[in-house]
Structure 1
Amino acid sequence: MQYKIQVNQNLEIFDVDYVAKQAAGAVLMRIGKSVILAAVAREEKMVEEDFLPLTVQYIEKAYAAGKIPGGYIKRETKPSDYETLTARIIDRSLRPLFPKGYAYPTQISVIVLSADNEVDLQVMSLNAASVALFLSDIPIKAPVCGVRIARIAGEFILNPSNTQLKQSSLDLYVAGVKDELLMIEMRALPTQNDTTQAMNELSEDEILEALTLAQKAILEGSNAYEENFAKHKKQSELEFKSEEENLELFAFIEQNFTDEIKNAINQMAKSERAGELNKIAKTISKLETAEQKAWSEEDIFKALEKIKRKIIRKQIIFERKRADSRALNEVRNISIETNILPNAHGSCLFTRGQTQALVVATLGTENDAQMIDLLNEKNPISERFMVNYNFPGFSVGEASAIKAPGRRELGHGNLAKRALYPSIDENYPFVIRLVSEILESNGSSSMATVCGGSLALRAAGVHSLKLVAGVAMGLVFEEDKYAILTDIMGLEDHDGDMDFKVAGSKDGVSALQMDIKLGGIDKKILTEALNQAKEARLHILEIMEEANAKIKINDEILPKLEIFNVEPSKIVDIIGQGGKTIKDIIEKFEVCIDLDREKGEVKISASKNEQIKAAKEFIFTLTQTQKNKKFKDKDLSNFKLGEEFEGEIKKITNFGVFVGLKDGVDGLLHSSKIKHKVREGDRMRVKIKEIKNGKISVDLVG
């Protein structure tokens, strides 16, 4: 059956009971020329572990855009970073909907079958997955709806086209159900005019205004999906895991071991805290009471974890006290060291409490840019600013091997990139790569990456528009009361109800990410959280400004760059036949060269200025547009191959000497032909070897 729904400025067409009918729930969704299949499958048997076994896959088929996959293997293989990040967004938006005690392995597959260049595939994919999940027998109270908000010329735009988004100063992606917000991703986008670049952060009030528009649209979409598809929803006969609590065990531990648990909570590192709880569990298991009651060590440890959570939350709500004795709005101690790596272009060791990030900046040329294939772009995109985030096991005391980055690492790196990108001047000539090595983690290593990354850029001599800092906020609800926490540590993240990360400069927010665990957030609380985050951000920025003033840049190891222009028609001369000329220049002068055929722009970079100067001089001579411009219009018809001249050396360069022939015309004798030291004014006998593109090359005679 087909449904056509006009919602949030889109005509959305859904086919139900049409494809993938053996899945628990499936839908084919169309907007414009985009077609997406979303299917939900689940196993019949619950897992024994206490977690939600949900996996989300987002897959873009190359045929959806009339393409054949690049590379040696002509088929879709490993998911791209964009696919992984999109799957993560869908997961974060849908996960809060699953009922407590649901433990069936569940797979949500979202496959792009046809792609319209103007349709937002991320928003469409979430909504398709939401409807497919709602149609299944998994008891979801209502469908999630996702929307995107842009801002063009000061006006907020709901669900912009991809072309409109490129003109926007805001990219705000929001998911929710009914009037509850579940997930927020926001980034400021830089805008460029002829002379300056603006960073375009948003104030807290502007963010709330945009979220109000998103909330209304989400309510409209969620209601529309529910009204149209409720009659197709499968009846649920699923059983759920009951909260098996051994009340006697709980009472025994609370009565006899509360002080020990509080001491364990004060062991702030995850590894230390877990170790202390394990010791308590072993102690209890050896007691005569435990043996008589047949309490297993595993049951005791689970009870300890729940009592620990209860203590932490009640302590925060009713005593306004945190495990490390900080005030609710207090940031942990911060220390910053810059350029501690002598041979790296720029580095910053940022430590906040027990979270430590070593962020390293490297500058490169256009050849170092990351090429990305996007389904709705005809040509690959050149990514000139990259942020890579690494989270080794030792950072939390775990003995695990270092592996390829997973969804979490990609997500944290992407968040830091979104926060820092608006601070990069788009006219900055170098390609930039930031790598964040998390050396210690106890809460919000992604925000430590933002802070360390902003200073690592400055340490590498990058003139970023503003310093950017980030802070992670938390929220705890208990008995109709709540507390907002600044700079949460791992313990508060694990046992809290919200993870809310805010990054920006002193003038506003550049990136924001929110995930809710309890199913929605009130706007009043969100406003408080934003304002409390602003106070923390300004405090951190003040410390960062002090560190910035003390930076000593490693000038001698930074790459050097010069940009100049030649006549666009002369670019072919620099390239040479089959690229031979430019290869020779690169090898001879040990430089990197990037050319812009349309503008006639030449970028030369090297480790030393002398190399750049010599290569530039050679190119000017080659193209005869600068120092040798006077030769450009010379008539060379009076010169013949093999003709000999006794000439004076007019100029000596790294690549050869110029010998005067006749009529004010010089010939170039390549340095490889010169066997002894020469000086300007010396005379030598040469013969014409080549006449090409208004230039004469000569060889020695004899």
Structure 2
Amino acid sequence: MQEINVTLKDFQEKYQLNYVARQASGSVFYQNGGTVILASVAIDDKDVEGDFLPLSVQYIEKAYAVGKFPSGFIKREGKPGEFEVLTSRIIDRTLRPLFPKNYKRSTHISIFVLSYDKKSDLQVCALNAAANALLVSEVPFSIPVAATRIARINQEFIINPNIEELIQSKMDLYISGSFEDLLMIEMKGASTQEDGIDEELLLEAIELARENNNKLCKQYQEKIQPYKKNMLILSEEKDLFITEIYNFIQKNYHEKVKKILNQMSKSERNTQLDSLGAEIFENSKEEKSWELEQVQTTLSQYKKNIMRQQVLEEGIRADGRNTKEVRSISIETNILPYAHGSVLFTRGQTQSLVVATLGSENDAQGRDGLSLSIQKECFTFHYNFPGFSVGEASMIGSVGRRELGHGNLAKKALEDSIMDKTRVLRLVSEILESNGSSSMASVCGGSLAMCACGLENTGLVAGVAMGLIKEGEKYAILTDIMGLEDHDGDMDFKVAGNKDYITAMQMDIKLGGIELKILKEALYQAKEARIHILDIMEDAKRKIKINNSILPKIEVFKVPANKIIDIIGAGGKTIKEIIEKFNISIDLDREKNEVKIYSTNAVNASEAKNYILCLIGEQQIYQENEEIEGIVKKVVDFGIFVSLPRGGGDGLLHISKFTQNKSEKSSDYFKEGQSVKCRIIGFNKGKIDLDIIK
């Protein structure tokens, strides 16, 4: 096979075909600046059984791409990091809806980052490489796909920013599409007036990304698609949908199906539909030669059509709501006595328990990857989705891609609203019941959980999931969709933000594209719902009772540069004694000359601060001649050490102050734990000298 080189006009991308991985069904050797990616597609010889697309995507970063060893004890790439998992998910979500419905071959797309210049956008590069590896493969997939990222700096949009520009930007919009069709959107925005992104600005940015994707797709079609290998001939799939069964159900079971659809909860609906399918099969098997699987598939399609028709023609949804109505909401705060903050957020049949924990700098999450050096992340959001939340009897295992994706979306929505970016915070959303939009329930609960633990923020953030049902030119946008509408609808569109600005958005389209007119309408309808939810959340916020007695305390203060060594002491002795004495943790920042004290007890943190300032001579807790009552901490030959009140440390009462008899010992007068009244008589390099009050 002859090697083929493709360079795109007006773009930095270069592709080499038939160069490496030539045993794969399709592969590209992709280069953008100093970034090199190998994307390959491998397919099995036989179809798989089942009604699903057997597609898997793996994005893998090689440590050697930036000339370093993998971190950790074992110096080999192993379990994928969060960025790798999320990037794999972005690629999967973009490409999966575009495969032919009757394609059943196991297909694996692998994306290796072989070299990284620390400038290119790896998620944009990875999707473009993967889509074009698919485009030249034997898979019956002939749709050019591209990705674009938009940033905003100094009120101007930037197309495909480099890493430094993206760090400066208060907006991060990632869009994949095919020509002018939008396929997937992920967005993170600011929550403040200076940098906030409203609906109009967002639409403007989306249009920019769409134009860029269109230009790229045209070049892919012109320069890469002609080299596509001969496509596999799809085997004829057994059609389980039978028109005769459909007509039979319509004639004999229409009212029963409609009752199941409109009057039952999610779990009851699924059970009753299965039972009805079995009933139809039993009642017809003497006269008809239908199979149970055919009956169930046709019944499912009939149910779907009724739901969609009812919404489009009557404006009524399966649970009786109109298209713009939000399900009933209830909120309870701080229901867990010893958690720093907790919120139970319930919306319809979706329930999230969000728990906040405040931590010290040592609790921050370490992050490592090609696009960043090892760093600490102060804010983490963990989302858990146990099987019982949807009535499944399944084991709880390791975190899946979906859980990571939903947690990442909630984190994006809330991150900018935190005022103190250095405060270490962990939010955990436990999904206890799910029937639509558990990630958006997590956003609402998470925003309130911050308030419940006393953390200051720029304002509450709420989220809502939108849906779409479209038949020809007729369509309906649905607010606060439930599981049925997600499964049988044409769009899953999640929007989070405050009353003025959008802080996060995620959209997946099942149609193969969406018009901007519909997207704009959905954004404004989502804003109406968001404001409604925020009003309810504001009322719940006013009723929060913060449990200050269990909240940790952080004291941050500056000290002279030459005093840091005095706090540490010889071999770290002094700082260890302070940590043990006050049951705290201490972080010293030599660059900022800053001391940070973290304690689970506010009194301990304050006393430790006073003690350190006294130790280095920056503050005196006591005045000369002040009388105090302390506790004997230690008895030594030359006197006793007295533990002083108010976190003032220890003072020395010399033996000469209570006896002149050289044959007597300190232990003849005092025992450890004994109370003693003293007077402050002097300060000696941070040490306190005492005299006894007789």
Could you state the TM-score of these two structures normalised by the residue count of structure 1? 0.89
**Residue deviations 1:117-168, cap 9 Å, x none?**
1111111000000110001112223221001000000000000000001111
Secondary structure of 2:369's counterpart equals coil
Aligned partner of 1:512: which letter?
A: M
Aligned partner of 2:257: which letter?
A: I
**Residue deviations 1:282-324, cap 9 Å, x none?**
211221x223323232222111111111111111112222111
Q: 1:699 to 1:234 in 2, by over 3 A?
A: farther
**Residue deviations 1:24-57, cap 9 Å, x none?**
1101111121111100111121112111111110
Q: Distance in 1 between matches of 2:618 and 2:681?
A: 27
**Residue deviations 1:51-103, cap 9 Å, x none?**
11111101111111111112221111111111100100011111122122111
Secondary structure of 2:56's counterpart equals strand
Contact 1:394 1:440 in 2 (8 A): yes
Aligned partner of 1:167: which letter?
A: Q
Secondary structure of 1:470's counterpart equals strand
Q: 1:215 to 1:469 in 2, by over 3 A?
A: same
Q: Distance in 1 between matches of 2:91 and 2:377?
A: 24
Secondary structure of 2:30's counterpart equals strand
Contact 1:474 1:492 in 2 (8 A): yes
Secondary structure of 2:318's counterpart equals coil
Q: 2:243 matched to which residue of 1?
A: 247
Q: 2:230 matched to which residue of 1?
A: 235
Q: 1:688 matched to which residue of 2?
A: none
Q: 1:639 matched to which residue of 2?
A: none
Contact 1:65 1:376 in 2 (8 A): no
Deviation at 1:7, TM superposition (A): 5.6
Q: 2:675 matched to which residue of 1?
A: 677
Contact 2:614 2:648 in 1 (8 A): no
Secondary structure of 1:679's counterpart equals strand
Q: Is 2:415 the partner of 1:421? A: yes
Aligned partner of 2:396: which letter?
A: I
Q: 1:57 matched to which residue of 2?
A: 58
**Residue deviations 1:417-467, cap 9 Å, x none?**
00011111145x531111101111100000000011111111111111110
Aligned partner of 2:25: which letter?
A: A
5 Å-filtered alignment, 1:233-312, equals 233-242=228-237, 243-266=239-262, 268-287=264-283, 289-312=284-307
Q: 2:459 matched to which residue of 1?
A: 466
Deviation at 1:659, TM superposition (A): 5.3
Q: 1:614 to 1:308 in 2, by over 3 A?
A: same
Contact 2:37 2:114 in 1 (8 A): yes
Q: 2:109 matched to which residue of 1?
A: 108
Deviation at 1:623, TM superposition (A): 2.4
Contact 1:199 1:423 in 2 (8 A): no
Q: Distance in 1 between matches of 2:576 and 2:671?
A: 20
Aligned partner of 2:19: which letter?
A: Y
Q: 1:70 matched to which residue of 2?
A: 71
**Structure 1 gaps, min length 5:** 191-196, 632-643, 663-668, 685-690
**Residue deviations 1:232-257, cap 9 Å, x none?**
10121321454443222221122111
Q: Distance in 2 between matches of 1:621 and 1:383?
A: 33
Secondary structure of 1:423's counterpart equals coil
Contact 1:175 1:218 in 2 (8 A): yes
Contact 1:7 1:220 in 2 (8 A): no
Contact 1:567 1:600 in 2 (8 A): yes
Aligned partner of 1:126: which letter?
A: L
Secondary structure of 1:78's counterpart equals coil
Q: Distance in 2 between matches of 1:579 and 1:646?
A: 26
Q: 1:241 to 1:620 in 2, by over 3 A?
A: farther
Aligned partner of 1:67: which letter?
A: K
1:478 to 466, 471, 476: 471
Q: Distance in 2 between matches of 1:321 and 1:233?
A: 47
Q: Distance in 1 between matches of 2:580 and 2:640?
A: 30
**Residue deviations 1:299-350, cap 9 Å, x none?**
2211111111111111111222211111111111111111111111111111
1:435 to 409, 423, 428: 428
2:650 to 636, 645, 656: 656
Aligned partner of 2:418: which letter?
A: I
**Residue deviations 1:206-264, cap 9 Å, x none?**
00000110011000111111211122101213214544432222211221111111122
Q: Is 2:343 the partner of 1:348? A: yes
1:326 to 321, 329, 353: 321
Q: Distance in 2 between matches of 1:582 and 1:489?
A: 55
Deviation at 1:646, TM superposition (A): 8.9
Contact 2:413 2:496 in 1 (8 A): yes
5 Å-filtered alignment, 1:177-196, equals 177-189=178-190
Q: 2:15 matched to which residue of 1?
A: 14
Q: 1:634 matched to which residue of 2?
A: none
Aligned partner of 1:264: which letter?
A: I
Aligned partner of 1:24: which letter?
A: S
Q: Distance in 2 between matches of 1:261 and 1:512?
A: 35
For these two proteins, the number of residue pairs brought into alignment is: 663
Q: Distance in 2 between matches of 1:407 and 1:207?
A: 27
2:537 to 532, 544, 549: 544
Q: 2:402 matched to which residue of 1?
A: 408
Q: Could you say what the CA RMSD is over the residues aligned between the two structures, in angstroms?
A: 2.8
Deviation at 1:555, TM superposition (A): 1.1
Q: 1:534 to 1:240 in 2, by over 3 A?
A: farther
Contact 2:551 2:601 in 1 (8 A): no
Contact 1:47 1:105 in 2 (8 A): yes
Contact 1:269 1:442 in 2 (8 A): no
Deviation at 1:6, TM superposition (A): 4.3
Deviation at 1:650, TM superposition (A): 12
Could you state the TM-score of these two structures normalised by the residue count of structure 2? 0.90
Q: 2:361 matched to which residue of 1?
A: 366
Contact 1:199 1:422 in 2 (8 A): no
Secondary structure of 2:458's counterpart equals coil
Secondary structure of 1:73's counterpart equals coil
Q: Distance in 1 between matches of 2:113 and 2:573?
A: 43
Secondary structure of 2:49's counterpart equals coil
Moved more, 253-262 or 353-362: 253-262
Q: Distance in 2 between matches of 1:356 and 1:129?
A: 37
Secondary structure of 2:15's counterpart equals strand
Contact 1:469 1:503 in 2 (8 A): yes
**Structure 2 gaps, min length 5:** 625-636, 657-665
Q: Distance in 2 between matches of 1:618 and 1:673?
A: 24
Q: Distance in 1 between matches of 2:538 and 2:391?
A: 32
Contact 2:585 2:597 in 1 (8 A): yes
Moved more, 621-630 or 461-470: 621-630
Aligned partner of 2:557: which letter?
A: F
Q: Distance in 1 between matches of 2:508 and 2:425?
A: 30
Contact 2:33 2:120 in 1 (8 A): yes
Contact 1:170 1:186 in 2 (8 A): yes
Q: Distance in 2 between matches of 1:549 and 1:40?
A: 55
5 Å-filtered alignment, 1:558-637, equals 558-627=551-620
Q: Distance in 1 between matches of 2:562 and 2:289?
A: 87
Secondary structure of 1:166's counterpart equals helix
Q: Is 2:40 the partner of 1:42? A: no
1:508 to 501, 511, 526: 501
Aligned partner of 1:621: which letter?
A: C
Q: Distance in 1 between matches of 2:481 and 2:380?
A: 27
Aligned partner of 2:475: which letter?
A: Y
Q: Distance in 2 between matches of 1:199 and 1:357?
A: 32
Q: Distance in 2 between matches of 1:297 and 1:594?
A: 67
Secondary structure of 1:105's counterpart equals strand
